Amino acid sequence: MNGVIIQFFHWYHEGNLWNEFTKKLDDLKNLGFTAVWLPPATKCVLGQEGRGYDIYDLYDLGEFNQKGGIPTRYGTKDEYLSAIKKAHEAGISVYADIVLNHRMGGDESETVTVHQVNEENRNETIGEPFTAKAYTKFLFPGRDRKYSDFIWDYTCFSGIDSIQKDQEEIKGIFKIHNEYGTEWNPAVSHQFGNYDYLMGADVEYRNPYVVTEMKNWIKWYLETTHVDGLRLDALKHLSVDFLQEWITYIKTELKPDCYILGEFWKQESEKISDFSDKINDMISCFDAPLHYNFFRASKDGRNYDLSQILKGSFLEKKPVLSVSFVENHDTQKLQSLESAVKDWFKPLAYAIILLSEEAYPCVFYPDLFGAEYTDTKDGEEIKVIMPKVEILPKLLEARKQFAYGEQISYFDHPNCIAWVRKGNNEYPGCIVILSNGENGYKDIELGKENADSVYRDFTGQRKDEIKTDENGKARFVVSSQSVSVWIKV
């Protein structure tokens, strides 16, 4: 079967997500989804406002009265566990979103020695080290040591974005001096000199007690939730040494078949590839370079050379470990990595990720269900409407019924590309053709076994019928800036 993931949330989603997911399970199953990526279930510093990435307590999945209430933005622990159970009953695997890099909302302050660093070059010190107060003590009073009695203090953190000196709060990036060093962990991305620090209180993974606690925690998490895989957040900022040890622990001691998908956000597939090499290929990665190709193609219209659409992608580099997507909660409009693929191009992009041979595609919630939201940017209130990609259910159906077998590609024209899926013993195959310019066509030879056959466009974009000649050859067509999926009648 052709696996396909749904990212079942977006940045501005409102309402109880766990219950909504449970209600939509039958529809998702019918559309052919085999896995779901759910957002982080952990209690955040912003309580019900937090999106899940401003982590406070990893053991609070909406169970304890902390940070303003019991549930998280997405619901309670019971609702989360029930959603996972029902997904399993529907045959859908669940991937949990896990934030390892930082914590926010410490319960008490401690006196720490710090030095400030230049945000553009974190290896560059500003001024002399000094002592200050920082909120680095996490006691989780609302949980009262249930599941774990581990208390986080400044030895568990390498840096922080806010300190208090002489009763005054100072913002910036401050390197915390602890037993494990006065400099950043070097085993991270070298962007900005050293990209260990991202936000909040940065976790010190050179501290062996932290490593042990994070192993204990993931054991608890997997046993409690029974999720099938993990989507790991912000991996550029984490020590590769820690990740290697921690993932090996999961794969050998806890759950050998645990699917691990990393967010290692780089525009160059070589860097993503180097990273997955270092984790001994135990981790799949999102194909950010392919997303940026889609983004550029959608902006450039017919001036974009469609024959190059996969060039530089992780899909091309390491197909088995790549996860392809068109859009996500960080790239959608008004978000931190805003690079929204324009609406007209989305059918083409989805055809590429859903119908190509080697891709493991991930569909974004608003592209299936639509979304509307408002946010402020540069002091101005902006309303965003994300319409559904109307053709998406058809393309999902085509993935389920036809997109099987060997692929023959015709990426030979800047405005029109096509590929044939030859089918296999169970499924018939299809011909996919895309244009980002005028109406297009492609002369394709399908072999004698397809002589004198009739084809129609499964997507309904084209109403004509195409007949192959006595040798199985035909001219397949596509409308301007569109996609067609031709199947044998």
What is the footprint of Ca ion within residues 234-263 (CB under 5 A)? 237
- Report if residue 233 touches Ca ion, rule: CB under 5 A: no
- Report if residue 202 touches Ca ion, rule: CB under 5 A: yes
Phi first, then psi: give them for residue 328, nearest 5 degrees.
-150, -175
End-to-end CA distance of the chain: 22
CB neighbours of 88 closer than 8 A, spacing ≥ 6? Answer: 94, 226
> What is the smallest separation between the CB atom of 138 and Ca ion, expressed in angstroms?
16
> What is the smallest separation between the CB atom of 196 and Ca ion, expressed in angstroms?
4
- Report if residue 101 touches Ca ion, rule: CB under 5 A: yes
Q: Which of 334, 326, 305, 298 is closest to 414 using CA atoms?
A: 305
Kindly state the number of chain residues that form the binding site for Ca ion, as judged by CB under 5 A: 4
Stretch that binds Ca ion, among 24-32, 190-198, 382-390, 459-467 (CB under 5 A): 190-198
C-alpha distances (whole Å) from 38 to each of 83, 96, 98, 288, 368 are 10, 6, 10, 19, 15
233 among known catalytic residues: yes
In the bound state with Ca ion, the residue whose beta carbon lies nearer, of 202 and 457, is: 202
Q: Which amino acid is at 174?
A: F
In the bound state with Ca ion, the residue whose beta carbon lies nearer, of 240 and 466, is: 240
Q: Is there a contact between 269 and 301 (Cβ–Cβ < 8 Å)?
A: no
263 among known catalytic residues: yes
Q: Which of 241, 263, 330, 357 is catalytic?
A: 263
In the bound state with Ca ion, the residue whose beta carbon lies nearer, of 79 and 202, is: 202
**Exposure b/e, 151-165, CB count within 10 A at least 16 = b:** ebebbbbbbbbbbee
Stretch that binds Ca ion, among 132-140, 169-177, 230-238, 430-438 (CB under 5 A): 230-238
Query: In 10 A of CB 254, how many CB atoms?
Result: 14
In the bound state with Ca ion, the residue whose beta carbon lies nearer, of 94 and 134, is: 134
- Report if residue 204 touches Ca ion, rule: CB under 5 A: no
Q: Helix 17-31 crosses helix 77-89 at what angle (to 10 degrees)?
A: 10
Instruction: State which of residues 54, 60, 196, 287 lies at the interface with Ca ion (CB under 5 A).
Output: 196
In the bound state with Ca ion, the residue whose beta carbon lies nearer, of 64 and 184, is: 184
In the bound state with Ca ion, the residue whose beta carbon lies nearer, of 236 and 399, is: 236
Q: Both tokens of residue 428? A: 């018939």
Stretch that binds Ca ion, among 194-202, 331-339, 418-426, 440-448 (CB under 5 A): 194-202
What is the footprint of Ca ion within residues 382-401 (CB under 5 A)? none
> What is the smallest separation between the CB atom of 214 and Ca ion, expressed in angstroms?
13
Q: Which of 459, 432, 418 is closest to 306 using CA atoms?
A: 418
Stretch that binds Ca ion, among 84-92, 97-105, 209-217, 453-461 (CB under 5 A): 97-105
Integer Cα distance of 117 and 120 in angstroms:
9
Give me the active site residues, please. Answer: 233, 263
Residue ranges in contact with Ca ion by CB under 5 A: 101, 196, 202, 237
